Structure 1
Amino acid sequence: MCKISDDMRPRWPIPEVLAVVARFLPTLAIVPTADILPKAIKVEEKKAIALANPMRDTGKPRALYEEASSQDKTLKIYDGMMHSLLFGETDENIEMVRRDILSWLNDRCNLDSKSSSLS
């Protein structure tokens, strides 16, 4: 996820309340569960880096794809890869995921520019 669309942002005062909570309890997990780090990061050397990150999320992953109201969404499963696609994978896998993300974004930018030039 790169950005929350303006029409999907929660209404006032939810963002303000969450900002205050995050300021005082930045690592508070809403649904506590066992640490997912072993299932998230494949490259052993990167696990130590992730463990040292004081801001890492230790909570249960959420099923955002099903809950998101947007119709413009894509779920891509990378066989053999783990949860941390842009950090915990090999450099080759990270590059492949980055290319896919950029391609997805560029496709939408091209669609937006075409539709605005037609109006």
Structure 2
Amino acid sequence: MDNSDLDDLFAAVRQQPVAVSDGLMARVLDDALAHQPATVAMVKPKRSKGFWMGLFAAIGGAGGLAGLSTAAIAGVWFGFAQPAALTTVTDSYWGTTETVSETVDILPGFYDYLGEG
């Protein structure tokens, strides 16, 4: 059997009408309607919360904001106050014994504000 024989068979089948009973068509259509997806009511999309609320949620809410602000305040305090214990730790870590001969006092210390007069 070659391709031309197969084409002849398909042409012969196409010429014969296909008889389907009305009962079979009704059952097939009823089954198809039963499997159709149900309609879903449209839901109004939620409004965007805005930039600040999105940032607040990305940080982790109130707990994340509290931790971030505490870390920021501690960093600023360590940067300007330079506790002696912290400089001892950093000197031992870096292994330097050099002392800085010139320092610039950008922010005065707490005791500078306590002076009388």
TM-score (norm: length of structure 1): 0.22
Which gives a bigger RCO, structure 1 or 2 (Cα 8 Å, sep 6+)? 1
Larger Rg: 2
User: Which has the larger helix fraction?
Assistant: 2
TM-score (norm: length of structure 2): 0.22
